[in-house]
Chain A
Amino acid sequence: MRLLSAVLRTIRNSRRLAIGLVTLGMLVLLAVLSPLITKLIGGGIDPVELAAYERWLVPSPQHLLGTDQFGRDVFAMVIKALAVSLQIGAIAGVISTVVGVIVAFVAGYKGGWVDGVLSTFTGVLLVIPTFPLLIALSAYAKNVSLFQVGVMISIFAWPFAAKTIRSQVLSLRTRPYVDLARVSKSRDLEIIVTELLPNLLPFIGVGFASSALGAIFGLVGLEIIGLGPGGVIDLGQIIFNAINTGALTLGAWPMFAVPIILLTLLFAALNMINIGLEEVYNPRLRGVAGE
């Protein structure tokens, strides 16, 4: 209950956050409805089935975005791929945020050598370039499920979340109200859940949005260099196909423009949420800006 009211208060306070959430909400809705939409487009046949239609059709009322090199309806493909990209973001975002929060709380709250070891370890992971590691991991990923890909990607996403949240835990744990709770003999876990967690919600949100963003881009990047997991079509793979089949020279621009626009919208929405949350947390940024 307390968490819920904290969330609502946060949203009411920031226009940017609201815009970001609405955009994200619409994209999610589109993804959730994707089975329905593809059914509607196909009207009986599966529009993303190979050779469902003629190849390289130009955009028309029947095929809003035309068809690809295999005769699949690009519009239906894009909607389906959007759902996959969002799922990866959500899976990796949740996992890395949970791990990040746990590490951050253990390090920040315990302090001392525990903090030293954990922080050094997080710092070390942060400087290892993640994209090569991701490429290497994709060597395993030829026949894995979407969930497993999400887990793989979150291996590299949690240190960032842990770092941002830890610095906030450090500043919060010395606040008077936390001391008060400690003096009144609350248990550590109780203090963390009731006193610290609600106040850190914006930062946990930032951690989630950044991790999700990183994960979606990570998978798109893998797909673009042709190393993505097999069996799933995400937005990156459509872009990869567009490049590799020469869609750019054939003038089949929707095939790369639409996935890029959708992903850009997604990145923009997540970034708006990020910045909106930061502004909520740091009112100095908002107050002077007069927005």
Chain B
Amino acid sequence: MTATAPPAEKAAERTQESASPGALRAWLGRHPLAAYAIRRFGLYLVELWGALTIAFFFFRLMPGDPIQTLIQTLQQNYIYNQQASTELIARYRAEFGLDGNLFVQYLKYMEKLVLHGDMGPSLISYPTPAQDVILRSLPWTIGLLGISAVLSWIFGIVIGAIAGWRREKIGARIATNLSIALSHVPYFFVALILVYIFAYSLGMLPARSAYDSSITPGITPEFIGSVLKYGLLPGLSIVLIGTFSWILSTRMLMIPVLGEDYLLYAEAKGLKGSRILTRYALRNCYLPQVTAFGISLGFIFNGNVLVEQLFNYPGLGTTLVTAIQQLDFNTILGVTNIAIFSVLTAVLILDLLLPLLDPRVKYWK
């Protein structure tokens, strides 16, 4: 555990301190925000290291020997017609970082990852590096989930604000109760029902793959149209359910604000309802929603395994499932590490930004 980032960071801090201990402490005392930022960044590195480590050991404990699987696949494809030699197996093991004991493997893996950003070769598409395999599927996941996340956030905030503001109206009640009932239903269910209706019963929309395979990928109107058409059903299923949970949380944040005196005052001033809603009420509950949105953007990099599987969408989720079935450790870990990194980084950025956005937020004393 010596070659990882956090100890290195601490060492750097220590050398700085020893150079001018008194001056630095005094400076930090005068700049609480900077002191907070350094502490927060240190925690971030610790969390990152911890999560990456847990993920590494967890996946290495999976039963099965990936090298044997690989060699069997190669033999089935008549690349070798004899038993693989021990020498060959040893070479593959070294290549994939599977030689030596678990701890040595861990150190080597972390060294390559941290110092070179190298995730090792992918087993499924050897000798392509795992990071290239991941980079290929990343745009699809980001495109599909990113657009869906933004849309459901916007819809959810608008509908949720109105549902809280006009909570006695029948429409608001329906929206609220529907959200309570459906906000925890998996996206996958909606996707399945949409597929049944629009793809099988009506035959209107395609239900598999990400674009029409007869069109060559490129920045042409045809290709983009095809991508949009193929992304419509998976996107719609995510937007539908996602919107419900944003409605619910926005409404929950709105309602306590509605009892506040400054809203009564705004009303007494004779301001228009819509102005009070957007400038006074919503303004006071947008911050938690921005935070939650940032975190949900981080979670995009988890992919959406089930929806991607159902639509055979070439995103991170599909890559991950294939990798797990083939025991492609480097790719599995790569996908997981990207997910961990993005969520933690999103949280870090938000924690550092929020004090600047809202003067009421103070993490330091």
Contact = CB atoms under 8 A, between A and B. Distances in A.
Interface string A103-123: 000000000000000001101
A231 interface: no
A132 B336 contact: yes
B54 to A, nearest CB: 6
Contacts of A285: 252, 255-256
Interface string A253-266: 10011001001100
Contacts of A260: 189, 192-193
Contact of B54 (A124, A221, A225, A270): A124
A136 B309 contact: no
Given A132-B320, A132-B336, A289 B189 contact: no
A288 interface: yes
A256 B192 contact: yes
Nearest to A275: B180
B306 interface: yes
Contact of B188 (A135, A221, A272, A284): A221
A225 B62 contact: no
Nearest to A289: B255
Contacts of A284: 255-256, 259
B59 A224 contact: no
A28 interface: no
Contacts of A125: 51, 54
A268 B63 CA distance: 37
A128 B53 CA distance: 10
B192 A239 contact: yes
Interface in A117-172: 120-121, 123-125, 127-129, 131-133, 135-136, 139-140
A208 interface: no
Chain B interface secondary structure, helix, strand, loop or mixed?
helix
- B interface, how many residues as a size bin? 35 or more
A217 B187 CA distance: 11
Contact of A132 (B168, B255, B259, B335): B335
Contact of B344 (A127, A264, A290): A127
B343 A127 contact: yes
A211 to B, nearest CB: 12
Interface string A209-234: 00001000100110011000000000
Nearest to A268: B181
A34 B277 CA distance: 51
A5 interface: no
A243 interface: yes
Interface in A1-46: 16
B186 A129 contact: no
Given A129-B340, A132-B336, A256-B192, A290 B305 contact: no
Contacts of A248: 195-196, 200
A150 to B, nearest CB: 19
A71 B192 CA distance: 23
A207 to B, nearest CB: 14
B333 to A, nearest CB: 9
Interface in A236-291: 239, 243, 248-249, 253, 256-257, 260, 263-264, 267-268, 270-272, 275, 284-285, 287-290
Given A129-B336, A135-B324, A221-B186, A253 B196 contact: yes
A128 B332 contact: no
A225 B321 contact: yes
Contacts of A127: 47, 51, 340, 343-344, 347
A95 B46 CA distance: 28
Contacts of B252: 285
B64 interface: yes
B339 interface: yes
Contacts of B63: 139-140
B51 A124 contact: yes
Nearest to B61: A136
Interface of A: 16, 120-121, 123-125, 127-129, 131-133, 135-136, 139-140, 213, 217, 220-221, 224-225, 239, 243, 248-249, 253, 256-257, 260, 263-264, 267-268, 270-272, 275, 284-285, 287-290
6 contacts: A139-B324, A221-B305, A225-B306, A256-B192, A264-B181, A290-B168
Please give me the 5 A-B residue pairs with the lowest Cβ-Cβ distance, nearest first. A268-B181, A124-B50, A129-B302, A129-B339, A271-B184
